[in-house]
Amino acid sequence: MTSAHRLLPVDGSVVIYMLVRGKDGRPTGYPMTGMFQGGQLEITTYRKAPKAQFLLADDRVCCVVADPADTSRGVAIRGRAAPAPADGFVAGTQSGGQAAIDVPDEVKQTVRSRLESDKRMVFRISIDSVREVGAS
């Protein structure tokens, strides 16, 4: 399944709130920048970060994107995360896609450098469902 929704770029960056299950099974959330490429969602994090360890232990994930016009509404993306090669993510950061946010070049360079040194890793989220959430 792909991410077809007006709040989600086909290619580009967007602010997400990623929810994963911690060691105890309870949900924990992280604000992040997600990268859509061809309708698929990828995130990057430090290999030793708790969120990486949580995703490696339990691949279920939900990412929420708020509607900038009405932040009480948004879209929830449910899926499963798996480690992915960094080369596609790095190429995507150089393509310039239709970003919902402007990621500074210095940040992109730092992420690329950390991916190349294996300090960071990429997770590709296989999307199971996309649905609108919030006030009705």
Element (H, E) at 81: strand 70-84
In the predicted structure, residue 96 carries a pLDDT above the cut 60: no
Across 27-51, average pLDDT = 91
> What local confidence, expressed as pLDDT, does residue 1 receive?
63
Banded pLDDT at 109 (limits 50, 70, 90) = confident
CA 86 to chain centre: 14
The mean per-residue pLDDT over the stretch 53-79 comes to: 94
Q: Hey, what CATH class is 12-134 in? A: mainly beta
CA distances from 97 to 17, 20, 85 (A): 21, 27, 19
For residue 93, pLDDT over 60 is answered with no
Q: Are 114 and 27 in contact (CB under 8 A)?
A: no
Which helix (H) or strand (E) segment is 105 a member of? helix 105-116
Which of 4-13, 39-48, 76-85, 97-106 ranks highest by mean pLDDT?
76-85
**Residues 60-89, mean pLDDT to the nearest whole number:** 91
Contacts (Cβ under 8 Å, ≥6 apart) of 128:
1, 78, 79, 80
Boundaries of every domain in the chain: 12-134
Residue 39: per-residue pLDDT: 75
CA distance 61 to 37: 18
Is a pLDDT exceeding 60 seen at residue 31?
Answer: yes
Mean pLDDT of 1-26: 86
pLDDT of residue 130 exceeding 70: yes
Of the candidates 113, 15, 1, 29, which has an alpha carbon nearest to the alpha carbon of residue 71?
Answer: 15
Q: For 96-125, what is the mean pLDDT?
A: 78
- Widest CA span in the chain: 46
Q: Considering only CA atoms, which of 38, 129, 130 is closest in space to residue 84? A: 38
Average pLDDT over residues 4-9: 82
E strands in 3-55: 12-21, 27-37, 40-46
